[in-house]
Amino acid sequence: MPTSIKHQRGLTFISIVFILGLIAFFTLLVLKIAPIYINHSRVMNALKAVEATTDIASKSKAEIKSSLEKRFDLNYVEYVKPEDIKIVAQPGYVSVEIDYERVEPIFGNLSVLVEFHEGFEAGNK
């Protein structure tokens, strides 16, 4: 005797597998991307700390770069290379820019690219 559609309830096996696959994919994505953004927050904290330094506009390029690198080491910052940091220092003016990117492989040939562009200016140009 055929049952009516009103009495059928629940999900089929295929729909359960599909839903679990979606949940697994987005969980994997979050687990791969979250550390990148945690690292970026460390970069931002170091950059803000250098910006808040007294008389930052009167410091040389070497002093600013050294200060940033020390803060990066202290905060365990990864993925930022010295060539990613661009500093323009003139008497009474300083501009610091950090441009870097991170490619994180997800699985197979699928990867995620995340680009960051941060910086600050202090003093009068």
pLDDT in tens, 13-40: 998 999 999 999 999 999 999 999 999 9
Residue 93 is assigned to a structural domain of this protein: yes
* pLDDT for 6 beyond 80: no
pLDDT of residue 1: 53
* Domain annotation covers residue 110: yes
Is 95 part of a structural domain of the chain? yes
On whether residue 5 sits in a domain, the answer given is no
Confidence check: pLDDT of 8 > 80: no
Q: Does residue 104 belong to any structural domain of this protein?
A: yes
Is 74 part of any domain?
Answer: yes
User: What is the total count of domains within the chain?
Assistant: 1
Say if 7 falls within a structural domain.
Answer: no
For residue range 37-86, list pLDDT tens digits in order: 999 999 999 999 999 988 888 888 999 999 999 999 999 999 999 899 99
- pLDDT digit string, tens, across residues 99-108: 999 999 988 8
Domain range for 26 is 12-123
Q: Where are the beta strands (DSSP E) in the chain?
A: 85-90, 93-107, 110-123
Does residue 6 form part of some domain? Answer: no
Residue 15 exposure: Cα atoms within 13 Å on the Cβ side: 4
Residues forming beta bridges with residue 120, ordered by sequence position: 96
